[in-house]
Amino acid sequence: MNLNSAKKITKAIVEIDHPLFDFRSKEAKINVKWVHMYLKHYVTKKVCQMLDVGCGTGKQSFAMEELGAAVTGIDCSREAIKYANNIKKNIKSDCNFIIGDYTDMPFNKNTFDIAIFPKNIIECSYGEVEKISKEIKKVLKIKGLFVLTMEDGIEKIKREKGYNALKKYQTRTGKFNENIILPNGKKYYYPIYFWTIAYAKYIFSKNFIIERDRKIDSNLHMLVFKKK
C-alpha cells in the first residue's frame, strides 16, 4: 500500500482504540502469545537486538522485550508510534519506537540479530516486498534471522468463503480493491494483496535461506529465514 494510504488508514484504526492495540489488555496478550511460544529460543545472546517492522502500537515489540531482547519498532504512523510510546511510559519499557518507512529504513547495516514482520504482508504489493526484503537483509547482522507471520491467500479465501472478494481482484497486480468500514461508520479504501506461503518464500529466498515453515494457529503461518 502506498505510504500516504497506510498512514491514513492506520491513524483511523488507532483512533478506534480497540483493546487489541493495547499491550496491557487481555486481548493483546493472547494475540502476542506466539512471540513467547515460538521466538523465545531464538533469543540466545545476552544482548539480542530485535526489530519489529511495521510495529503498529507495539504489542509484539513489548512481548519481545519480555523475552529479554533490546527492541526497536518502526512504523510509518505517527499516531501508532505515539500510542506505543504512551504504553512504553506506563509499563516502564525500554523499547525504542521510530516513525519511518519500512521500504527505506533509517538504520545502519548489520544492526539487528532478529527482525519480525508480523501480519503485515497482506498490505504490501509484490514490488514493496522486494524492497522490504532487501532492507531487512541490509539491517540484519551476519546469520541474522527474519521472522514473517502471514495467512495463506488460498486458505483465507476458502475459510472465509470469500469468493465474492474475487470480484475485487485485479489479475495483473494481485491487488484486491477492498474498503473497510470502521465502527464510526467511516469507509476507507484498503487495498490488500494476494499472497501465498509459497510465493512469500520464493520472494524472500532471494535474500534469505528458509530455516523453518510452520503453522502456528489455525490461520497463521510462521516462516523463519536466515540472512544469506
Q: Residues in the site for ligand SAM, rule: CB under 6 A?
A: 1, 3, 6, 10, 54-56, 59-60, 75-77, 80, 101-103, 118-120, 123
Dist. CA 73–CA 115, nearest whole Å: 10
Q: Give the largest CA-CA distance in the chain.
A: 51
User: Comparing C-alpha atoms, which of 76, 166, 85 is closest to residue 128?
Assistant: 76
Task: Report in angstroms how near the CB of residue 46 gets to ligand SAM at its nearest.
Answer: 26
Considering beta carbons, is residue 32 or 145 the nearer one to ligand SAM? 32
CA distance 186 to 16: 11
Amino acid letter, residue 158? K
- At 78, the amino acid letter reads R
To ligand SAM, the closest distance from the beta carbon of 179 in angstroms equals 16
Phi-psi region of 109 (alpha: psi -120 to 50; beta: other; left: phi over 0): beta
Q: Which C-beta is closer to ligand SAM: that of 48 or that of 74?
A: 74
Smallest separation (angstroms) from ligand SAM to the CB of 16: 13
Question: Nearer to ligand SAM by C-beta: 118 or 191?
Answer: 118
Choose between 113 and 123: whose C-beta lies nearer to ligand SAM. Answer: 123
CB of 134 to ligand SAM, least distance (A): 14
Give the SS3 label for residue 200.
Answer: helix
